[in-house]
Structure formats: structure tokens, C-alpha cells
Amino acid sequence: MDCNFKTQAALSKTGLIRHGEEKVPKAIYSIWWDDNLGPSVGRSYPEMDSLTSEEALIIFMGHGVNREAEIGYSKLPRGLAISYMKPPNCIAILLDQEDNASAIERNLLRLVKYIDFNSDKWDTELQRAFELLHELIDETSGAGLLTNPGVKKLVEDMLEKRVSVITPKHVLRASVRYPDAYDYFGTDDDEVVRILKDLEEEDILVSRTYGRRVECRQCGESDLIVELLCPRCDSNDIHKVYTLFCPKCSNQFHAVLMDDIAEVTCLSCKQPVKVSELAILDVEPLCNHCGTASNDPRIVFRCASCGKHLRGADLLAGTGLAYYQK
Ligand SMILES: [Zn+2]
Ligand SMILES: [Zn+2]
Ligand SMILES: [Zn+2]
């Protein structure tokens, strides 16, 4: 059988290829924070149904009192709005009832990289953004997703059993970011750091110490993983007993969550619950070695690259850098 045909068939079965009309958001808005007026609606596209100032305020509040959350959700009488905050600017998307909110959120995050927040032609900027959003949605859903060569290869590799699972690595990123520089160099953190170093090399900027950063003294990396050890015998053979909330019967129950399970059965109502829908209320680590149950296990940081047990010097010896005009 033709590989491509098999891939199509596999995707059809998963519902990844939908037939019929594509679902799209209804409108996009740009909103500004004005220190005197509060949130004021900048532009809308399509233009006919712009937001009221009350709606703009609701959207701003969706980002927290200090506008600290990057993504906000707000329920307006006309529908759900998902917004992206980059103070003082905010971009909001009004969803259609049928829209998949989490897919729109992912595409909004993709979209904002292409929006020029300093544009002096917001009419055209916003129209361009709305069209680009549609392109992004087409590319990342339904048949469009399959035209991505990487997606095609992954589905084929899984069909041919060359790859059986995509596993996560749970890494804490002690990453360095310079949000002040986003307006100039974009939001790719690694690229921003490279440009700042270029500028220092060219004697335009000079760096000075600023705080401490995590840096493994063995390999220089800043990513870390957390490990729990028994506080009594230092064993890392620890079971975690979870207190879970069942969304089906609203009762609590205990379970040990092993790897590689897709659902657990609620002990109260005996119904299966998807692990992605479980709410975890509490966790109690239980040592398999000495039997100690403790809510206060020993926490150890390891370097995510080389596995070194990170001590205080690794966690605090790296030098953070701030950049000044030379
Ligand atoms: Zn239940
Ligand atoms: Zn123990
Ligand atoms: Zn390391």
C-alpha cells in the first residue's frame, strides 16, 4: 500500500482530517492601555463589530490586575475572547461557538511573533494578522497539518513502528530572558542573547553583573530536573500516592499513577477518567525502601544534560548579565 495513502487513512481514523467547513474565529482586536483612559479599543477586523470599552476592560482584567498573564480568557456576551498581552498592547480574538479554544490559543501564540506591535498602520497590520491567523489555523489542523513534512514523517514512522512513543523530559528551564529587548529583536530568547553578545563584541554595549544564574559547573548547562528522595533513607525509589478529584462523580479517591496509563477508574463511581482530565488535589510520596510516607521529601536538582547533582555553587555561581550603553 502507498505510504501516503496509509498515512491519510490513519489520520482520517483519528479524526485529524475533518471534512466539510473549516471553523474560524470571528474577529480580531487590538486594545491599548492608556494611563488616563484605561483600555481603549484600537482597531477591529472585520471593522463592523468593534468592542465596547466595557468589553475591552473585561479582556484586560482577564490578564490579572497587574496584566501579568500573557494569555487571558474572557467570556463576553458575544462570545469567548482569547487575548495576548504585551503591555501596553493587547491582541484579542473573538471565537466562534464551534472554535476549539486551546487550538486558537496555540495559534495566537504563533501569530504574535509576526505582529509588528510598533506599527503605525494598525488597520493593515490587524487585517494582515487576521489573514495570517487563518493561514496558521489551516496549516495546523485538518488536512493542512498533514502537508507538514515533519508530521507526515512522524505518522509514517509510527505506522512502521520505527517510533512507538514521544516521551517528555521534565526539565526546569532556568533560562535567561531579556523582555526589554523583545521590541527590538523579537521574542526568540536565544536569538536575543546572541544579538546582545554581538553588540558587546562590537563595543556598542557593555555587560555588567546582574544577579546569579543556574549553571552546571560540569557542562555549563542551565536546564535542571527535580528528583525526590526519601527524607529518612535517601532512596529514590518513591511511590507517589495521589488524591484525585473525579470529574464524573465529584468524589475524591486515592491512586498510584504509574507511567503508560491512559485512564484510571474512579473508586467511587467506577467510571474511567482520562489522565489528561484528572485534577490532582494532593500527593504523598511513599518510600518503597523503608516505608516512610512523607509530605516533605528531600528535593535534589540534577543537571538535565549531564546528570550531575547540582549543589549550591551550581545553582548560584553563574553570573547574570545586564547590558549598558558603552
Ligand atoms: Zn467518580
Ligand atoms: Zn525510605
Ligand atoms: Zn551538566
Q: Distance between CA 267 and CA 272 in Å, rounded?
A: 10
* 296 Cα–ligand 2 center, Å: 12
Residues lying with their CB under 5 A of ligand 1, a single-atom ion: 246, 248-249, 266, 268-269
Q: How far is residue 15's CA from residue 312's CA, in Å, rounded to a whole number? A: 50
Distance CA 219, CA 240 (A): 31
As annotated, the residues of the chain forming the CATH 3.30.450 domain(s) are 27-140
Q: From ligand 1's centre to the CA of 247, what distance in Å?
A: 7
d(CA 36, ligand 2 centre) in Å? 60
CB atoms within 10 A of CB 2: 7
Closest-approaching ligand to the CA atom of 278: 1
Q: Which of 19, 30, 304 is CA-nearest to residue 168?
A: 304
pTM assigned to the model: 0.71
Q: How confident is the model at residue 8 (pLDDT cuts 50, 70, 90)?
A: low
Share of the chain above pLDDT 70, in %: 93
Ligand whose nearest atom lies closest to the CA of 263: 1
| 214/221 Cα distance (integer angstroms) | 8
More confident residue, 23 or 276: 276
- In this predicted structure, what is the pLDDT of residue 37? 81
Residue range 190-205: mean pLDDT, rounded: 95
Categorise residue 150: left if φ over 0, alpha if ψ from -120 to 50, beta otherwise.
alpha
The mean of the pLDDT values for the chain is: 88
How far is ligand 3, taken at its centre, from the CA of residue 216, in Å?
5
- pLDDT beyond 50 at 287: yes
> Is domain 27-140 in CATH 1.10.8, yes or no?
no
Alpha-carbon distance of 96 to 77, in angstroms, equals 12
For residue 31, CA distances in Å to 28, 40, 73, 78, 88 come to 10, 6, 15, 17, 8
pLDDT tens, residue by residue, 34-88 = 888 888 888 899 888 789 989 999 999 999 888 889 999 999 999 999 999 988 8
Q: Distance, CA 218 to ligand 2 centroid (Å)?
A: 29
How far is Cα 223 from Cα 51, in angstroms, rounded to an integer? 43
* Ligand in closest contact with the CA of 244: 1
